[in-house]
Structure 1
Amino acid sequence: MGPIVAMPMDADHFLVALLVMVVTLAHVLPHRLPAAIERRRDSLLSMAGGVSLVYAFVHLFPEADHRRETIEGFDLAGVTLVAEHIYVVAFVGLALFYGLERLAIAAGSVAAGGSDGGRPGISIFAAHVGGFAVYNAVIGYAIVRGETGTERVLLFAIAMALHLFGNDQAMHEHHPTLYGRYGRFVLAAAVVVGALIGAWNALEPGVYTLLLALLTGGIVFNAIKGELPRARDGRFWAFASGAGAYGTVLLAL
């Protein structure tokens, strides 16, 4: 099984650019949804959770496992990695985004009229958006780089666009003022920056594998935290339908 999240550099560049823009717009368009779609936002978030979570388990974890030999002997902060550490790295990604979530909650940024305008609120906002900017840049890079063709990169881009739609909603809940004014544009730009890096140069294989594992762990946490249906406003059948339909497509290709 080869790499699953990107496209050859000699493929249709217009399609690659289009997919990057579709993923980027996930941070811009949700605030301008037609009223008929807005009424179904909870169902859309549940469906997005199903799609992104099934993609992580069906494709991203197997991809990270396939690439794990590239981190053998890799020195990371004084620790020499072995191939089996790839799952530790994925867990670190999950833990890092859990930490960011707890930091935002502890700072009171979820509450309406919280500390968004004060100095602590700005610091937490910067850390939160900074973490997701790296996350989005890896997604943009992954769309551009790789070896498996149009079908796989298209599936990846669709899953990530839906996933970022869910992330966008969660960030608005944490930082309603600062995120609406600045944060969503930073995260949209991060996807483009990652794509430009990918178009300009390829990362060392071990570095990309580590970033992919961190991204996978982050996707799992953010899907479970913000996209899985909640008893209050989730839609189980929307989640199940999204996961079932997308999982069927992934397994068929």
Structure 2
Amino acid sequence: MEYIALGSITLAFVMTAILMVCHYLSPLIVKIPGLDKRKITSFAGGVAVSYVFLHMLPELVEGNEAIGEILKNDVPLSPILDLGIFIVALFGFNLYYGLEQLARKASAEPSGSSRKVYRLHLVMYCFYNFLITYTMPLRVQTGLLYSIIFTIAMGLHFTMMDRNFNRHFSRQFSATGRKILVLSLLLGWFITAVTEPINVLVVSLMIAFLSGSILYNVFREELPLEKTSYPAFTLGLIVTAVLLIFPLVLVAE
């Protein structure tokens, strides 16, 4: 088990490093000559949506079952308990939607209010990044292919997310914000590498919150109709779906 854990942490570090590079170099990536941002954005959206629906949401179901097993002797079973982990995902979705609304309003307000909203935004997206890399070793243990797809999806997603920060908080984000977000990725991996594993209940709740947050951020940044290339989105969705489903078909045979 120690060897597996060490291997998972090492692979998780490699994937964390890739995400850090994507975050840090995102201004250069979007300026690559000949790069069709509309198609790349739509392709990234297809990859992320396919991953969420075919891997992260099934993960929520498994997490809900694990929570039920843990709590069955302490808490009476009820429909609310059955939906508990999905309520956490819904909360994550709604929280980041609220942050986006604050950011839009801050664009038209005095600089003092804008700074406060920016700091709140930055803290919450540091937490978002932290959760992504804190749970990365667990993703590696579910399968190398799944974690590679997740890394690709999140790397593309970070590039688009940075663009959204620049749209609302260009000056503050360019100066220090991007570096802080990059460090939050490293912190998430570091904490999970040096601390004792936390219990299944807490991990399941973290993944649920992260799933809801990712869903909102994907829908916000990668699916606006005026920026959409439907063929590119469909290509990303189908390629990712095939990569996720094919191993399951092989196992079934």
Return the TM-score normalized by structure 1.
0.84
Cα drift, residue 31 of structure 1: 0.8
Aligned counterparts of 1:126 and 1:175: Cα–Cα separation in 2: 10
Change in CA separation of 1:223 and 1:37 when aligned onto 2, cut-off 3 Å: farther
For the 8 Å contact 1:93–1:214, the answer to whether it is kept is yes
Aligned counterparts of 2:163 and 2:173: Cα–Cα separation in 1: 10
Equivalent AA in structure 1 for residue 131 of structure 2: V
For the 8 Å contact 1:141–1:195, the answer to whether it is kept is yes
Question: What is the RMSD of the two structures over their aligned residues, measured on CA atoms?
Answer: 2.3
Correspondence for 2:213: 218
For the 8 Å contact 2:46–2:234, the answer to whether it is kept is yes
Aligned counterparts of 1:31 and 1:38: Cα–Cα separation in 2: 15
Aligned counterparts of 1:199 and 1:145: Cα–Cα separation in 2: 11
Q: Which of 174, 183, 188 is the aligned partner of 1:180? A: 174
Aligned counterparts of 1:34 and 1:67: Cα–Cα separation in 2: 36
Cα drift, residue 12 of structure 1: 6.2
Any stretches of 5+ residues in structure 1 without a counterpart? 1-6, 76-80
Aligned counterparts of 1:198 and 1:145: Cα–Cα separation in 2: 10
For the 8 Å contact 1:27–1:165, the answer to whether it is kept is yes
Which shifted more, 54-63 or 21-30?
Answer: 21-30
Residues matched between the structures, number: 235
For the 8 Å contact 1:47–1:241, the answer to whether it is kept is yes
Q: Which structure's residues are more often helix, by fraction?
A: 2
1:5-32 C-alpha deviation (Å, 9 max, x unpaired) = xx94132654332211111122111211
Return the TM-score normalized by structure 2.
0.84
Q: Does structure 1 residue 244 correspond to structure 2 residue 238?
A: yes
How do residues 1-253 of structure 1 correspond to structure 2 at under 5 angstroms?
A: 8-11=4-7, 14-33=10-29, 35-37=31-33, 39-72=35-68, 73=71, 82-108=81-107, 115=110, 118-145=111-138, 147-201=141-195, 202-231=197-226, 233-253=227-247
1:108-128 C-alpha deviation (Å, 9 max, x unpaired) = 26xxxx75xx22111100111
Change in CA separation of 1:100 and 1:12 when aligned onto 2, cut-off 3 Å: closer
1:195-246 C-alpha deviation (Å, 9 max, x unpaired) = 1111122222111111111111111111111111422x32222111111111
Cα drift, residue 144 of structure 1: 2.2
Larger gyration radius, structure 1 or structure 2: 2
Equivalent AA in structure 2 for residue 91 of structure 1: L
Change in CA separation of 1:32 and 1:56 when aligned onto 2, cut-off 3 Å: same
Equivalent AA in structure 2 for residue 176 of structure 1: S
For the 8 Å contact 2:96–2:213, the answer to whether it is kept is yes
Which shifted more, 197-206 or 28-37?
Answer: 28-37
Cα drift, residue 101 of structure 1: 0.4
Cα drift, residue 34 of structure 1: 7.6
Question: Sequence identity of aligned pairs in percent?
Answer: 27
